[in-house]
């Protein structure tokens, strides 16, 4: 049985939803969904936390599954690949004059983006890149500004670990880019806020969080003060240190000023 199916089987057997498993393990819901859909291989750290909640050593299960893969499958794949390559090569040789020029390479994850309309009639696209199935060192945030469907600028945000984007807020003098970071801060994941100017240059960034997992989801202007902003998200709470099975997520609120200074939070 594949690891993804085993995790789903154990979760259902315990009567847990994906959200329940995320809250109890401290692994983000998005990661749980991708693991169960077999879209990404879980890290040893994530697998250890999920194992704790599901009461099974999934690292050992993962190793046993990997060691049991029959050799003939690899041979079969090599033979099949050779046949397909021969067919494609023959077709290209016969029809080489009919082939169009090659398309430029496309980052698949650039197709999975969010979009924000801007006050100048343009729009911003933002997404994560190189985050899935990797060690996280190149997992960054991409922000692209368009006007009349032409790219004005492109900005990459992040450090040497996992960095994700959740929301962008347009300001008079630039943009707030909100997400979470594993590159900076004091916890496993911290709320991550970056200020860009109108040309996409990074002016500064701030992190907010404690020693566990904290996620920023949405940022809005405060109704009380034009120079104050409210970040909404989730924070992890573990009543007993290192007892991941009893951890859960709570609502997080942070109030900041235009410079990113923390005016209030409920950590």
CATH number, domain containing residue 8: 1.10.260.40
Residue 97 lies in a domain: no
Residue 93 has pLDDT above 60, yes or no: no
Nearest to 42 by CA among 53, 67, 30: 30
Residue 226 lies in a domain: yes
Range of 132's domain?
108-265
248-257 β-sheet, strand order: 214-221, 228-237, 248-257, 262-265
Residues 59, 132: one domain? no
The pLDDT tens digits for 152-166 are 999 999 998 889 999
Strand partners, 197: 174
The two most distant CA atoms of the chain are separated, in Å, by: 70
Residues 137, 53: one domain? no
For 123, how many CA atoms within 13 A lie in the half-sphere containing its CB?
Answer: 9
The pLDDT tens digits for 228-258 are 999 999 999 888 877 778 889 999 999 999 9
Residues 169, 232: one domain? yes
Residues 36, 139: one domain? no
Residues 127, 246: one domain? yes
Residues 258, 175: one domain? yes
Residues 63, 112: one domain? no
pLDDT at position 179: 94
Full-model pTM: 0.59
Residue 32 lies in a domain: yes
Percent of the chain with pLDDT over 70: 84
Helix, strand, or coil (residue 1): coil
pLDDT at position 127: 92
Residue 88 lies in a domain: no
Residues 123, 56: one domain? no
Residue 227 lies in a domain: yes
Residue 81 lies in a domain: no
Residues 37, 144: one domain? no
* pLDDT band for position 200 (cuts 50, 70, 90): very high
Residues 32, 112: one domain? no
Percent of the chain with pLDDT over 90: 41
Which burial class, exposed, middle or buried, applies to 233 when counting CB atoms under 10 A from its CB (0-12, 13-18, 19+)?
Answer: buried
Report the CATH number at residue 138.
2.115.10.20
Domain count, the chain: 2
Residue 82 lies in a domain: no
Instruction: Please tell me the distance from the alpha carbon of residue 110 to that of residue 197, in angstroms, as a whole number.
Output: 22
Residue 188 lies in a domain: yes
User: Which DSSP string do the residues of 65-90 spell out, in sequence order?
Assistant: HHHT--HHHHHHHHHHHHHHHHHHHH
């Amino acid at each position: 049985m594949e690891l993804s199916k085993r995790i789903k089987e154990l979760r259902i057997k315990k009567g847990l939803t994906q959200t329940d498993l995320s809250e109890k393990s401290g692994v983000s819901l998005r990661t749980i969904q991708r693991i169960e859909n077999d879209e990404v291989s879980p890290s040893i750290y994530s697998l250890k936390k999920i194992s704790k909640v599901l009461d099974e050593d999934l690292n050992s299960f993962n190793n046993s599954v990997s060691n049991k893969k029959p050799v003939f499958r690899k041979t079969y794949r090599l033979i099949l690949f050779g046949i397909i390559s021969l067919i494609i090569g023959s077709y290209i040789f016969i029809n080489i004059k009919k082939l169009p020029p090659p398309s430029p390479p496309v980052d698949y994850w650039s197709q999975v983006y969010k979009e924000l309309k801007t006050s100048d009639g343009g729009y911003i696209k933002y997404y994560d890149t190189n985050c899935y199935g990797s060690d996280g060192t190149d997992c960054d945030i991409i922000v692209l500004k368009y006007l009349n469907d032409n790219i004005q600028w492109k900005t990459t945000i992040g450090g040497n670990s996992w960095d994700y984007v959740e929301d962008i807020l347009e300001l008079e003098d630039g943009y707030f880019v909100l997400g979470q970071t594993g590159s900076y801060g004091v916890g496993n994941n911290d709320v991550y806020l970056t200020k860009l100017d109108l040309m996409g240059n990074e002016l500064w960034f701030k992190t907010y969080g404690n020693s566990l997992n904290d996620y920023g989801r949405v940022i809005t202007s405060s109704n009380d003060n034009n120079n104050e902003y409210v970040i909404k998200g989730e924070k992890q709470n573990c009543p007993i240190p290192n007892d991941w099975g009893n951890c859960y997520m709570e609502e997080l609120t942070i109030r900041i000023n235009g410079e990113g200074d923390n005016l209030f939070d409920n950590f």
